[in-house]
Homo-oligomer: A and B are copies of this chain.
């Protein structure tokens, strides 16, 4: 396939690298200088504009860190809306808000173009290994055209229907549940520690019992070891995830009380200067609130 790729941060590099390794023709674009070097060495060709990455492509993938970044690659003379041919699919893999995805879907449709939201589950270290889970949703004909890429990028794919925003909703709600799980573990681990119980003993019981799932394994260990660096999503990105969940709750006109708790701990961690640490660092704020850390 002829693939364009926009946004070569840590997730993007991993995914684009897999696409290139699978032998696909690859154009790459990133607004920041130097981000495309590794892929160029692997045979990709760098272009100067978002629209350039759509030239004669079957699919153009975006992996962007924010709704603003997505908007920036869509609009303007050099943007995707102006540049994409009618048989090219835009596959947006970043974690975006529901309104942003709704707008992108509407605008592509109005331009006679196909748009698929395809957020992923998994941390950057899994991207390069092809161990992500994919959550694509969009028009069936578009899904069909990009389906060959799914197996290249991920280990598991959940096709979520024809509405792009369904994929986004599932992703946002899933991140919300993950934040709640980290919060709950942080509170529980502080509680047992403060009462004199060995935290790894407690974690062991929970992981072998009711909570033997990756969410608890990954983050539980991090909290018990107080190891907040070298991982995936940062506190700053976690805050974005909280805000996307609250934005979704706003659209749904409903309360989402659990989100506020961990959002506020993340905010506190960021204020303290820990924004670049793993978002599990919210647990350190709980430990501090418990008087366990100075």
A residues in contact (CB < 8 Å) with B: 98, 121, 133, 135, 156, 158, 160-161, 163, 165-166, 169-170, 173-174, 176-178, 180-181, 183-185, 187-188, 190-192, 194-197, 201-202, 204-206, 208-216, 243, 245, 248-261, 263-264, 267-268, 270-272, 289-291
**Chain copies in the assembled complex:** 4
Once the chains are docked, how many angstroms separate the CA of A187 from the CA of B258?
8
Greatest chain B CB density within 10 A among A165, A176, A183, A202 is at A202
Q: Which residue of B lies closest to A166 (CB)?
A: B197
The answer to whether B169 and A192 touch across the interface, beta carbons within 8 angstroms, is yes
The answer to whether B187 and A176 touch across the interface, beta carbons within 8 angstroms, is yes
Once the chains are docked, how many angstroms separate the CA of A221 from the CA of B170?
17
Greatest chain B CB density within 10 A among A174, A177, A259, A270 is at A177
Once the chains are docked, how many angstroms separate the CA of A205 from the CA of B173?
11
The answer to whether A205 and B135 touch across the interface, beta carbons within 8 angstroms, is yes
The answer to whether B254 and A183 touch across the interface, beta carbons within 8 angstroms, is no
The answer to whether A251 and B195 touch across the interface, beta carbons within 8 angstroms, is yes
Once the chains are docked, how many angstroms separate the CA of A67 from the CA of B271?
29
Chain B residues with CB under 8 A of A156:
208-209
Instruction: Find A210's partner among B158, B161, B215 (CB 8 Å cutoff).
Output: B215
